[in-house]
Amino acid sequence: MSIKLGDTFPNFAVKTTYGDLKLHDWFQDSWGILFSHPADFTPVCTTELARVVQLKDEFAKRNCKVIALSCDSVESHLKWTTDIRAYAHSDDREFPYPIIADEDREIAVDLQMIDPDEKNADGLPLTARAVFIIDPKKKMRLSLLYPATTGRNFDEILRVLDSLQLCDKYKVATPADWQKGDEVMVQPSVSPEECKASFPCITIVALPSGENYVRKTAIPE
């Protein structure tokens, strides 16, 4: 299976720590993030899931529901969540998001997120650290794939989510290293006339080509 940006994300039926679910039913009308992990009770994975626990309110502010995946059993996941909550210094009585059990690696293979260079004790390839952002229309808007040995930066994932939501609302794009609240750039497809009407305060950056394609503006109110 090859999922490209803009494709409808598969509505997998999954076994999770929240019971049997279908992905689209879990995400409902929210934005969604599916992120995968090599294995339970491993150091980097524990730091990552703990970071998502700490950021649960930030995802909620953005109308985004998260779900994790690892190639271990539901029973193993449930035991692991005690360690994750402890590492996150969380007092929550319930773990704030579900973890998918993908013991047969069916989803990992379907989504092409196997790391061939990292194997478990039985010699089976580990799931790589994948991230998929899905919009409320169930379209895949972003995919990232990290090797099993490299932990992700979830502040960057929030930054990307902010950019996607902003650029869906306005005809803007976000430049390199953009952070929420920074100036944005008017999309090249916006005509000069439309630009004046929609973005009354713009700065055109002078470049050697003489082309006025770098048009900066504050986030529209």
Q: What residues are labeled active site?
A: 45
Distance of alpha carbon 199 from alpha carbon 202, whole angstroms: 6
Cα 29 from Cα 7, distance rounded (Å): 17
Q: What is the DSSP string of 169-182?
A: HSSEE--TT--TTS
Burial of 93 (0-12, 13-18, 19+ CB in 10 A): exposed
Give the chain's length: 221
Count the neighbouring beta carbons within 10 Å of the beta carbon of residue 27: 23
SS3 102: coil
Question: Nearest CA to 213 among 199, 203, 198, 201?
Answer: 203
d(CA 48, CA 88): 10
C-beta separation of 134 from 34 below 8 A: yes
Tokens 């598969």 found at: 10
Put residue 214 in one of left, alpha, beta given phi > 0 → left and psi -120 to 50 → alpha.
beta
